[in-house]
Amino acid sequence: MVQVDYIEVAGYCLLFCLVFGMSATVDIGCLQAQLKNIKAILTGVFLQFVVLPFLGFAVVKALNMSHAMGITLLVVTSSPGGSYSNWWCSMFNADLALSVCMTCVSTFLSIVMLPVNLLIYARLAYEDDVIGSLDWKSLFISLAVVIGAIGLGLLASEKFHSHAFNVVANKLGNFAGIALVIFSAVVGSGGGESSGDVSRGWEFYVGVALPCVLGLIVANIVTSCLHLAKPERVTTSIECCYQNVGIATSVALTMFEGDELVEAMGVPLFYGLVEAVVL
């Protein structure tokens, strides 16, 4: 008999509702126009899968971070964009159609780019084979949920095509976004057993925050130099820095135990806090 993890299922449901709600508010015509915006999309891909993973590696090496902390941070910076990026773009009046488009593109590309970046930087930093420790099932389920929610949301937007439906969909997305934040915080705080001797010095807080902050700065500089429209600059910057920290949480749970697990679990939790504060 298959055992159902109801907490995991609840997380996937909230994730689906969040992405579906944001996608269902996007006008298909605007999305089709953004698919032709090769300049903005390629800029986002470059920042997401080249700049941010390198910044993560540079911080890990410069601060000589511990094994558990460093590996988990590398997973965070190598992951695709987080589902909340669409939510933030909606709240900041950025280009939501571009955000949904970039989330879809980065999610597909992450199937290849995530293991490639981890293979390169984990071995350079620690000579580790972190690829074999990834929870591929959870990873691909998360990616499938995001892709499916985007597709169904866009289909619903095209079918109903009304302001009233868009308002309801937006409210659903906002509710799911807030609920998922609370849900993640509650589940994450229930971490594993430890000896209670885990202490986090300044290296932890500075090291985890730096890739997000530096990535945001680099993204703004690059998008400004490329003369992207202001809404596109905001969207691209958010997509660059806002990572899917759930993937790193899954990796930490499968790779580490005891004090190392507690140390590793703190990385995606604090990175998520930095994302919210910085943005």
Cα angle for residues 6, 261, 78 (degrees, 5° grid): 85
Spelled out in words, what is the top-level CATH class assigned to the domain 6-191+201-278? mainly alpha
Q: Average pLDDT, stretch 182-200?
A: 58
Identify whether the C-beta of residue 40 lies closer than 8 Å to the C-beta of residue 101. no
Query: Mean of the pLDDT values across residues 164-182?
Result: 82
Residue 58 burial (CB count, 10 A): 16
CA dihedral of residues 187, 193, 194, 200 (deg, nearest 10) = -10
Residue identified by tokens 């906002």 is 174
Q: Residue 134's pLDDT band (boundaries 50, 70, 90)?
A: low
Residue scoring higher pLDDT (216 or 242): 216
* Nearest residue to 83 via CA among 58, 60, 110, 56: 110
Check if the beta carbon of residue 169 is closer than 8 Å to that of residue 20.
Answer: yes
Task: Classify 81 as helix, strand or coil.
Answer: strand
Among 68-72, 100-104, 227-231, 254-258, name the one with the lowest average pLDDT. Answer: 254-258
| Single-letter amino acid, residue 50 | V
